Chain A
Amino acid sequence: AQSVTQLGSHVSVSEGALVLLRCNYSSSVPPYLFWYVQYPNQGLQLLLKYTSAATLVKGINGFEAEFKKSETSFHLTKPSAHMSDAAEYFCAVTRGQAGTALIFGKGTTLSVSS
């Protein structure tokens, strides 16, 4: 069965510092992987997705993620944090084929200090 583990429920960085949010997945089939961001009292916004094409995926707002099959990882990075990046981030994997239900991790709250 598919599952997602996000390492670190809370990550704090300084403005301008590297952002690294960790996600490991388990999947019995080639996975489709996603990162979503959620701002307070709002729905989820897609940052980027991996669908078996390029292993390095670029998303919105300067974020990118690298799919590493050997490590079963899909970590999210951004070279330079901005105050507006403070939010909750969720990694997700599709259960079965793409287009079916998403299985989410528990989320990582990113705090950015000036």
Chain B
Amino acid sequence: DTGVSQDPRHKITKRGQNVTFRCDPISEHNRLYWYRQTLGQGPEFLTYFQNEAQLEKSRLLSDRFSAERPKGSFSTLEIQRTEQGDSAMYLCASSLGWGDEQYFGPGTRLTVT
């Protein structure tokens, strides 16, 4: 078991460009979560999946953000028309199921210039 992995670890993009991040959860974990963490703050919830179904989205997840989890395995988070305010660490976590703790990946640090 290699834990939750995220790719890329760092991404620098220009304002207006689209970016996509990938998260590979711990195998057999049914739940997958996305969080965003800005400097000096705790992580903020964005969305989560139960298998391939997206069960909840935060109001932080504007129309420019979309997340998918095809086949209930890895997940992608896409940000369209990036803005400087999108600069943050994007964290992915997974859990086995209801009531289980979430295991976090190392995060993808996005810098929008």
Contacts and interface: CB of A to CB of B under 8 A. Distances in A.
Interface of A: 4, 32, 34, 36, 41-46, 49, 51, 90, 92, 95, 97-107
Contacts, number: 62
Given A32-B99, A102-B45, A107-B40, 5 more contacts: A44-B93, A95-B45, A97-B98, A99-B95, A101-B56
Interface in B65-110: 91, 93, 95, 97-107, 109
Question: Interface size class for chain B?
Answer: 20 to 34
B41 A106 contact: yes
Contacts of A98: 98-100
A99 B100 contact: yes
A45 B90 CA distance: 15
Given A43-B107, A44-B91, A103 B97 contact: no
